Amino acid sequence: MNLKEIRADALKKLEELHAKSERDLAALKTYLFGKSGVLTGLMKGLKDLPPEQKPQAGKEINDLRVELQGLCEQKEQELHRLAIEQAINSQVLDLSIDKPDHAIGCVHPLTQVRRRLTEYFVGNGYIVYDSPEIETDYYNFQALNVPPDHPARDMQDTFFINDNILLRTQTSAGQIRLMEKFKPPLKMICPGRVFRNDDDSTHSPVFHQMEGLVIDKNVTLCDLKGALDGFAKFIFGEQTQIRFRPSYFPFTEPSVEVDVSCFNCHGSGCRVCKNTGWIELLGAGMVNRKVLAGCGIDPDEYHGFAFGIGLDRITMVLCAINDIKLMWENDVRFLHMFK
């Protein structure tokens, strides 16, 4: 065959190759370029030509070789692409179904809120202090300026283990333990379980508080408001306002109840805030001088403020949980709402 015929033949063969003919393509390449391929044969035949024809003939053979090699390569790529396309088309899935193969565990909403609050206070220089859940009367009451038989004891129905040992009714007991152990300046939060002999639609006998305590020179009631204002904005959003109402706790003086503006309606009144525009959030105040003195801190030198946040209440408000019992039922469907 002459060059023309070889070219025409090769082009025809290439044309005939179809998708699954990678092997045929390999054979064609061998036929053309292999050790005993036609082009190789022509190349070998050059030596028999007269010298003046050699350059011209050699160039023609070589040109054809380059051209055909290029075409083969193109064909190779095309075939490979077709093969992949075919594979892809065979891998059709029903994308509408699910086959979950791992589960994400849920952290209890109360823990989530507790972590968030902790994050805020730790970032503001508070340590986290753990205090016993079973306490003595001294730490839970007497050191907090509630002597035996004081009417303030009626504010909290107490579970007793014996006359002197009880289940703490407030995390405030942690204040005393901390002040006994460390010297001011002090900043701490004490989150944990508290217990009251109380069980109705709005109370659970076990619930959670987070006590806060700051003791230093020059601490003021305005500093308390600043600390709680920052906390309220962190939890409920930047536009949140807080307000103080006078109240009474034996271990603070002055004592205040703290309300936050309703995060849901921003004060115009809705179901969340019972149309008042405000949500009752926590109790706070300036640490009573007797409490400081009882812990060996000079009340003329140091002031302090303290607050007690109801974690369950904040969780319920934030997560729109309308029944405190849900917090303790551990229903999987409930838990999975808080992923």
Partner 1 sequence: MKLPLSWLKDYVDIGDITPQELSDKLVSIGFEVEEIIPPRSDVKGVVVGKVEEIVHHDNSDKLWICKVNIGSEVVQIVTGAQNVKKGDCVPVATVGADLPDGTHIKPAKLRGADSFGMMCGGSELGVDDSVIDGASYDGILILPNDSTIGEDILRTLGQDDTVLDVSITANRPDCQAIVNLAREISVLLDKPFKMPKLTYKTINIGTDKMPSVKIAEKDLCSYYIGRLIRDIKIEKSPKWMRDRLRMCGIRPINNLVDITNYVLLEIGQPLHAFDRKFIDGGINIRKGAAGERITALDGKEYGVNDVLLIADDKKPLAIAGIMGGEYTSIFPDTQTVFLEAARFERSNIRRTSRKIGLRSDSSARYEKGVDWHSVEIGSARALALIDELKCGKIVDAVVSDGIEPPKQNVIRTTKEEICALLGIDIDKKTIVSILKKQGIDVKSEGKTLVCTIPLVREDIDAYPDLAEDIMRFYGYDKIISTHSENTHQTRGYLSTHDENAQKVKDRLQSLGADEILNFSFVSPDAPDKLLLAANDEWRKVIPIMNPLSRDISVMRTQLLYGMLCSIARNCARKNDSMRFYELGKVFVADKLPLEKLPQERDVLCVGICNDGDFYTVKSIVGEIIGMFGAVEYSPSTAAYLHPKQALHVEIGGIVGDFGKLHPLVCENYDLPENVYVAHLDITDALTDALPTAKYTPLSKQHPIDRDLAVVVEKSVAVGDMLTAIRTVSPYIANVKLFDIYEGEQIADGYKSVAFSVRLQPTDAPFSDSKIKEIMDSIIEKTSSQFGAKLR
Q: Which is nearer to partner 1, 195 or 307 (CB)?
A: 195
How many chain residues bind partner 1 (CB under 8 A)?
87
Of positions 246, 296, 320, 322, contacts partner 1 by CB under 8 A: 246
Task: Kindly state whether residue 243 participates in binding partner 1, applying the rule CB under 8 A.
Answer: yes
Closest CA to 155 of 197, 202, 190: 197
Closest CA to 244 of 231, 233, 257, 232: 257
Which residues, other chains included, contact 123 with Cβ-Cβ below 8 Å and sequence gap of 6+? Answer: none
- Applying CB under 8 A, the span of 49-57, 74-82, 170-178, 237-245 interacting with partner 1 comes to 237-245
Per the CB < 8 A criterion, the answer to whether 47 and 58 are in contact is no
Task: Kindly state whether residue 161 participates in binding partner 1, applying the rule CB under 8 A.
Answer: yes
Instruction: Report cis status (omega within 30 of 0) of the bond before 50.
Output: no
Closest CA to 162 of 145, 142, 137: 137
Residue whose entry in the numeric block shows the structure tokens 């010298």: 51
Q: Which is nearer to partner 1, 36 or 330 (CB)?
A: 330
Of positions 16, 128, 237, 275, contacts partner 1 by CB under 8 A: 128
Of positions 20, 73, 127, 275, contacts partner 1 by CB under 8 A: 127
- Applying CB under 8 A, the span of 23-31, 52-60, 158-166, 169-177 interacting with partner 1 comes to 158-166
- Applying CB under 8 A, the span of 53-61, 83-91, 185-193, 316-324 interacting with partner 1 comes to 185-193
Distances (CA, A) of 212 to 178, 289, 305, 306, 307: 11, 17, 8, 5, 5
- Applying CB under 8 A, the span of 22-30, 44-52, 152-160, 313-321 interacting with partner 1 comes to 152-160
Task: Kindly state whether residue 105 participates in binding partner 1, applying the rule CB under 8 A.
Answer: yes
Per the CB < 8 A criterion, the answer to whether 307 and 212 are in contact is yes
Of positions 21, 40, 111, 142, contacts partner 1 by CB under 8 A: 111
Neighbours of 184 (CB within 10 A): 19
Task: Kindly state whether residue 333 participates in binding partner 1, applying the rule CB under 8 A.
Answer: yes
Q: Which is nearer to partner 1, 92 or 104 (CB)?
A: 104
Q: 330 — alpha (psi -120 to 50), left (phi > 0) or beta?
A: left
Of positions 87, 92, 97, 103, contacts partner 1 by CB under 8 A: 103
Task: Kindly state whether residue 298 participates in binding partner 1, applying the rule CB under 8 A.
Answer: no
Of positions 47, 90, 92, 151, contacts partner 1 by CB under 8 A: 151
Of positions 124, 234, 267, 277, contacts partner 1 by CB under 8 A: 124
- Applying CB under 8 A, the span of 21-29, 47-55, 77-85, 181-189 interacting with partner 1 comes to 181-189
DSSP for 81-146 reads HHHHHHHHHT----TTS-----------HHHHHHHHHHHHHHHTT-EE----SEEEHHHHTGGGT-
Q: Alpha helix locations (H) across 188-310?
A: 221-236, 289-294
